[in-house]
Chain A
Amino acid sequence: MAYQFDFVDVFKYTDVLAKGIAFTVTLIGVGGTLGIAVGIFGAWARGYSRMKWLDWTVGAYVELVRNTPFLIQLFFIFFGLPSLGVKLTELQAALIAMVFNLGAYSTEIIRAGIEAVPRGQLEAGASLAMSRLQVFKHVVLRPALQKIWPALTSQLVIVMFGSAVCSQIAVEELTFAANFIQSRNFRAFEVYFIATGLYLVLAILLRQGMRGLGNWLVFGRRSP
């Protein structure tokens, strides 16, 4: 074969890759947590709150996000908003875009869980003299999250891969690191091979983390 593989050329840039992993983990850690928080609020607003205006407002937000590309949302926040005087660093812009994006998708996922909670369960909560908010907290949310936990995990993994797009606004995450190294040593195969492996590991770790988190917080498989 004519092509000589040279992985040593890539390992010279280990610090760049390490920084890339740190940025990707930060993006998915912070963005994922806040995004799911937004999603829980959105699902409450749409599927439980009984406030029409809030339902519609969140509905409009969900439609806006789910019907436009993530890259455009990101460019709008980073390149567009400075025209209105809102100047964000690339990391802030990336995090906001991710929370904004994941918030909408997880709103719908969690709402599906809420609507799958049997009516009798809500009535049982009401008959125990719980307020509606208490019913939501203690009777609705946990079984809802249990039902949709795998779907939410998948969405998080998708969003983590989506964070690769943030390299476009010079966030120095893993894809940026790979592109950077590739532009220096032109070792495309080696660089993207390693980046692929790293993403694979990160995704598996994320799934495992979500499983652990689910067991702890949602499924309650440990003594409270």
Chain B
Amino acid sequence: MKFAHIAVALLATVALAHTPARAELDDVKKAGVLKVAVPQDFPPFGTVGPDLKPLGYDIDVAELLAKELGVKIELVPVTSANRIPYLTTKKVDLVISSLGKNPDREKVIDFSTAYAPFFNGVFGPAEQKVTKVEELAGKTIGVTRGSVEDLEITKVIPASATLKRYEDNNGTISAFLSGQVELVATGNVVAAAILAKNPPKRPEVKFLIKNSPCYVGLNKGEPKLLAAVDAAIAKAKADGRLAKISQKWLGAGLPADL
């Protein structure tokens, strides 16, 4: 009982000591620094380069936003598990960490407009004319066993199509590149990894299975910062800078619906 009391007292002290300033737009501008949580273990969105500096799609977007806001950037490496706590405890102003939107997260934080495409789909070379799942009839499709795309496509695939399930993404990629399967169902990030190696067979997106684009995460109650981020993203979309980032890291421009 005594221990519990002490713990509560301690927690209260910590909470009082850490009454953080609101990271609203004005505060960011006053500090002159935008603190952004970025991934460092999730290529091509965020990795660590040979000079130990973070680089990737998310880092480029973070730098773009800082430039638009007219402040300096401070990158804070996070993992996918701690990226939202970093934001809610105000250690960072924004999370740009390939964050997808879902109702549970929307209860805790706000989201900007989407800044990066992230989806599972069916990919194949240009000569494969497939636009929807029904047209997979008679085709052989490779997929990584147990992945989201495996579970989703298994439900809807025509009976005459053959689904070949491989142990991991490398198996799926090898099967596609060696022609053992005509198409692959996988994520756009995996397709980008194949494209980056300039293979003879280029996996182009045929149709989407599940779309979950990436959003910038912000703390709730910061409408001015949110508006500024949205405006910056809209501007970067309009002038093609975002498409350039997408081309650079994902090997494909922005999809029309982003």
Residues of A within 8 A of B (CB): 75, 78-80, 82-83, 87, 90, 167-170, 176, 179-180, 182-184
| A180 and B146 alpha carbons, distance in the complex (Å) | 7
Task: Verify B171–A179 contact, CB threshold 8 A.
Answer: no
A contacts with B: majority SS: helix
In-complex Cβ contact of B180 among A82, A168, A176 (8 A) = A82
A80 to B180, CA, bound (A): 11
The 3 closest A-B pairs by CB, nearest first: A183-B146, A82-B178, A170-B164
User: Given the complex, which residues of B lie within 8 Å of A179, measured CB to CB?
Assistant: 145, 167
How far is B167's CA from A169's CA once the two chains are assembled, in angstroms?
8
Residues of B within 8 A of A90 (CB): 164, 180
> In the complex, how many angstroms separate the beta carbon of B23 from the nearest chain A beta carbon?
40
Counting chain B residues whose Cβ lies within 8 A of the other chain, the interface size class is: 10 to 19
Q: What per-residue 1/0 map shows which CB atoms of B63-97 lie under 8 Å from chain A?
A: 00000000000000000000000000000000000
The residues of B with any CB-CB pair to A shorter than 8 Å are 142, 145-146, 150-151, 164-167, 171, 174-175, 178-180
How far is A168 from B167 in the complex, measured between Cα atoms in Å? 6
Closest to A183 in B: B146
Query: Which residue of A has the minimal Cβ distance to B147?
Result: A183
Chain A residues whose CB sits within 8 angstroms of the CB of B180 once the complex forms:
78-79, 82, 87, 90, 169
Measured CB to CB, the nearest residue on chain B to A78 is B180
Inside 8 A of B166's CB, which chain A residues have their CB?
168-170
CB distance from A84 to the nearest CB of B (A): 11
Structural contact, A79 and B146, CB atoms closer than 8 A: no
Contacts of A83 in B (CB 8 A): 178
